[in-house]
Amino acid sequence: MLNQISGGVCAAKGFRAAGVRCGVKSGMSLGDGNQPIVPSMKDYLSGKFDLAMILSDCECAAAAVYTMNRVKAAPLYVTMGNLEDGVCRGIVANSGNANACAPNGHENAERMCAAAAGATGLKPTDFVVASTGVIGQELNIAAIEKGMGPLVEQLSTDGSDAAANAVMTTDTKKKEIAVTLTIGGKTVTVGGIAKGSGMIHPNMGTMLCFITTDCAIAHDLLQDALHEIVPRTFNRVTVDGDTSTNDMCVVLANGMAGNPLIEWKDDGYTLFCQALYQVCEHLARSIAADGEGASRLITCTVRDARSEESAERLAKAVVGSSLVKAALYGADANWGRVICAMGYSKAPFRPEYVDISFASALGEIKVCEKGVGLPFDEDFAKRVLTQDAVTIDVSVHEGDESATCWGCDLTYDYVKINGDYRS
């Protein structure tokens, strides 16, 4: 049985986290002539946090997935190298600058790891490094290096909230969850934080997602679990059709729960995967609901499909359609846009078999049956679609498989946010 608890990435035994404001974007830590000045601790803890750390008390098995964008940010390459041996101690991440396609990108990513190592007494290769923010501008590494000491000083078992806030960019809400379960008679905890609001159309994970667990599990099985679950959670989210250069999802498992080591795909592995799935699904939905400028979460479930793959293609085409997204913003039950998006998804289905309904907390209204429109109460439909969360339910009546994807509506604010993102 899974139980949701508080604590995020610090809920599992042996993990601490922190977030501070070091001035990545503003240059707070640079004085005249680029000479570093020493801010007070009050300065580091005031304003928008932009530097985060998650640290385990002992070595962890580590697994990760990365963006499939051909353009990858420097931190991803450094992290790939650091995780070649499958172990890790912590994560250091900044917001305000993506360190992607930027001058001295690789060197600055390595300097972040070195700074984290220097402040903790560990090795640079003990750290995952991640960045998010503006592409193409040189990272203010001097600010990060000055802020690393104060960051480590703030590490605590209550630090998940600060770390979650430190990796936010255009996010309006923190994304955080933790769950517990029993494996081998021991209480095991899985917790996570994520950031993501725009440039979301993942082909691996989300913009940044960090998951911690005290489960004892072999590295190869941890990697298998992540690769099984990411396609059914994060890869089913779309906000705007853009896959970021910095996408990364990392899981650290330190084994401190004391459960028998999971070395086979047995009952313990199945239970762990259920917990990891719940964490990833919650974070994926949170990202979709907090899409840039969004006013409502859109969920599309396609049922009775020939295969899970075709159901996913159909559902993702629907939640990714700009016209569907715009119709939902206007609370317009324009189901024609739904079936149109299905038609260009490249998934096989017979339009003459399709049923479509819209639903929310106020109720459900069927608008299409066997590919033909039904008469419906427009006023009731509008009330249904004005809720914060709306579901588009589709049945294609061709099989037994289903898939659910998540997105958000398209509002004027999306254009406003992205029209002046660099400023």
Name the active-site residue from 132, 189, 206, 212: 206
Nearest by Cα to 187 from 164, 213, 167: 213
Q: What is the DSSP string of 117-144?
A: HHHHTS-GGGEEEEEES-SSS---HHHH
> What is the rounded (10 degree) CA torsion for 28, 137, 76, 148?
-10
Measured CA to CA, the distance from residue 318 to residue 330 in angstroms comes to 16
Measured CA to CA, the distance from residue 396 to residue 220 in angstroms comes to 38
CB count in 10 Å sphere of residue 401: 17
CB count in 10 Å sphere of residue 420: 7
DSSP H/E element including 383: helix 378-385
Token pair for residue 220? 């190869």
Total count of residues recorded for the chain: 423
- β partners of residue 251: 63, 211
Q: Which amino acid is at 141?
A: I
179 near 190, Cβ under 8 Å? yes
Q: Apex CA 238: angle with CA 171 and CA 311, to 5°?
A: 150
Nearest by Cα to 44 from 209, 199, 162: 162
Sign of CA dihedral 390, 394, 399, 403: negative
Q: Any catalytic annotation for residue 206?
A: yes
- CA distances to 180, 300, 387 from 291, rounded to whole Å, are 28, 16, 16
Measured CA to CA, the distance from residue 189 to residue 186 in angstroms comes to 10
Q: Apex CA 127: angle with CA 123 and CA 131, to 5°?
A: 135
CB count in 10 Å sphere of residue 410: 26
Residues marked active site are found at: 206
